[in-house]
Structure 1
Amino acid sequence: MAAERAFVFEDEEELFSVMKDMDCLYCRIPVTASKHHLKKKHLRFAIYYKDAGIGKFSIPCYCSDGGHGRSHWHCPMCLKILHRTQNYKIHITNHGVEMTHKSSAELQPTAVPLESPRTRTHIQDKTPGNKLACQKCGTIFTATSNLRRHERLQHGQEQQPILCIDPKNAIYVTPKYLHGPRVPIHIRKSFTLQILLCELEECWDFMKAQAQSGNPGRECRHLVRTNHAQHYVPPPPLSVISLEEMSHKHLLSASEKHQCQEMSSRAAVQGVDCVYPVFWDEHDLSERCVFFSVYTDLEDKWCQFGRTRVSFDTKCGRWKCLCQHKRSRCVHKCLSMWWLFQERPELLQADMDGEDLC
């Protein structure tokens, strides 16, 4: 009786044992399934991935099912045949697997213990021969610079910081892009509240397309980061004393002072922080621009989750806000200035010297 073909393996020995002392099941023309043949014809082009945390791989097939002996791929989940490698990768990714370029031996969970990104920055797992191992996937490197480059390029998404700023409404902030200035955006994710939202329109389009393709739970790159988000840490609350001092120094007008007090009271009634400072310095990122997530008591295109982003350039003393009053001194800028005056007055010096709040 002919052996049944398998299209997914966890290690090479499993493949060799299945094909021992018989003709290759994956070739149209009869040929002995020696290790040399399997490595040269199939393993050489294998595609590696993780399925439920277990390292696996698939090999190309040359059977008659593909027509005229063309190389093709059999999906191990639904048995669909695909002729292009890239199409096969996309297809099995839609089944929920995670693509990787690493061998199955390196993908086993016991190979290298997982560490947090912060711990990985300070600890290097040294192997015999003074080599370095990636704490995330176990890949071996001989130079620290190569290891750091690998961590940045291969695991850059997971290294991006993400902070919980509102546990009540499940709101987080995380950098918008992988590279360049770490401009924060707001996202919401809560399985209890059944919320899965991102501020970016491109992410909405991505998740909508995934839902139409049969993957309704697929998350954008920002929402995925919540798996390693820092726990909520309440910021220092705004003090009325510091607000009075700002008014006394003529940094705020009477109407601006009243608006700040009113907005702060509304946030307190809702049980959220009126101003949440977003400092990336714990992640070795630039601190030239200080960002704030500010309560708005509104839900609009510029504040979809009831919060807006305010930025302050500590070098030139310029403020920016996403609200409709971009060129004027809005209450959101005043609230952020209140917090900065109270907690980090040294950063506000450039603004106080230049008197530029627009």
Structure 2
Amino acid sequence: MAAITLADDLTHLIKIVAAEENSCSLCDIGFETVEKLHTHIDRVHWTKRVDASCLHRLGQGHVVPCRLKCMQSVDKDRRSHYHCPICSKLLRRCGTFKYHLFNACRNSTPREKSKTLHFDVQAESKSKKQRKECQKTYSISHCLPRQRRDAHKLPAVCIDPRNGVFMVSQSSNSAAPIHVTKHLIKGIIGCEDKDCISIFEILKDINPAVDCNHLHSVQNAHSIANIALGDKALNSLVEMNLISSATSEKCRSERMKSLDSNAPLVVYANFEAFGISNRYKYYSILTGQNTHSSPSERVRVTFDVEAGSWSCLCSRKTGTCLHITLAKWYVFQTDPELISSVPR
């Protein structure tokens, strides 16, 4: 059986791997229930995936390990191994495969579809159609890789141009944005995605110039106007008993910090211009705390318009954090009709 080791997300992986009833095509093992099969795919294959989105020719693909008898030396114990989607080479260890994928095989010429690697039929036919159309527009062959790369750019908006802070969709299948920083003059470059951080750590001593698709996408980011928050809206929140007087003083303190640092306190990242659903509203909140996973010193707050609920990516799991309160302040000043859906 041919191994399918490239998938967009977990749902896509389950769809193509669990094609046969209660059987995993990456292990050739059957399971009693569908639930056990899905749990197996998640724990054994998806958790050990390698994000290949940095390779623009692959788009947002994730390479998952295969446990079929593809290698003569692993027939006995069925050790996991990886199929390179570019040159079809088989490698055992995850670290070795990452080095091969992002360094040794990065600039190699893709071969024809491997005998041990089958892509989705519809996606493959669509890709061939796109390449055919591109050849009509771009007569010079070396222009094609850049055109394919630009086609996979993610929606991005500029949050803080002075400090080079952007919000970019995490993937083509997930509109939820992440913060990235890219300021060439100040020498600040960073991405919050965990997979990208892992890749950067692996390649920092090999090829420090490697960037991810998130950083590449900010080149065409949309600009967003900075809106200063006023006391009138904040006082109205106190009068409506949506926040306490003590909380309002904390909000004013955060506003002073943002003015001192010359950075916007709250920015609404409008992704509707990219054709993304307006159910979720995303706000970038200044935290002033620089961490390894958040070099932008900002955090994302999300408002679900249909459910009327707020969520924040900060460490606080329950209740309303100060970041959500700052986002409410912004919403009440710019779009007060939404405040009726905000839980008290």
- Where on the TM-score scale, by shorter chain, does this alignment land: which range? 0.5 to 0.7
Counterpart for residue 339 of structure 1: 330
Q: Is the 8 A contact 2:168 2:218 kept in 1?
A: no
Distance 1:215 1:349 in 2: 51
Deviation (angstroms), 1:193: 1.9
Q: Is the 8 A contact 1:238 1:338 kept in 2?
A: yes
CA 1:303–1:252: 2 relative to 1, 3 Å: farther
Distance 1:291 1:302 in 2: 19
Distance 1:262 1:248 in 2: 19
TM-score (norm 2): 0.58
Distance 1:277 1:192 in 2: 25
Two-structure CA RMSD over aligned residues (Å): 3.5
Q: Is the 8 A contact 1:156 1:178 kept in 2?
A: no
Counterpart for residue 106 of structure 1: 135
Q: Is the 8 A contact 2:170 2:176 kept in 1?
A: yes
Report 1:1-358 matches (<5 A).
85-86=87-88, 94-95=106-107, 102=131, 106=135, 109=138, 157-158=152-153, 160-180=154-174, 182-212=175-205, 214-230=206-222, 232-300=223-291, 303-351=294-342, 355-356=343-344
Q: Is the 8 A contact 1:164 1:229 kept in 2?
A: yes
CA 1:178–1:289: 2 relative to 1, 3 Å: same
The CA deviation string for residues 205-262 of structure 1, in whole angstroms up to 9 with x for no partner, is: 11233344x43211011111122222x3323211111111111221110011001111
Q: Percent identity?
A: 22
The CA deviation string for residues 309-355 of structure 1, in whole angstroms up to 9 with x for no partner, is: 1111111211111223231221111100000011112222222xxx3
CA 1:220–1:98: 2 relative to 1, 3 Å: farther
Deviation (angstroms), 1:292: 0.6
Higher RCO (CA 8 Å, separation ≥ 6 residues): 2
CA 1:300–1:197: 2 relative to 1, 3 Å: closer
Aligned residue pairs: how many? 230
Deviation (angstroms), 1:105: 8.6
Larger Rg: 1
Gaps in structure 2 of 5+ consecutive residues: 1-85, 90-99, 112-126
CA 1:211–1:323: 2 relative to 1, 3 Å: closer
Counterpart for residue 13 of structure 2: none
Gaps in structure 1 of 5+ consecutive residues: 1-83, 115-133, 138-150
Distance 2:321 2:185 in 1: 35
Three-state SS of the structure 1 residue aligned to 2:306 is coil
Distance 1:216 1:172 in 2: 21
Supply the AA of the counterpart residue of 2:220.
Answer: H
Three-state SS of the structure 2 residue aligned to 1:293 is strand
CA 1:96–1:216: 2 relative to 1, 3 Å: farther
Three-state SS of the structure 2 residue aligned to 1:184 is strand
Three-state SS of the structure 2 residue aligned to 1:263 is helix
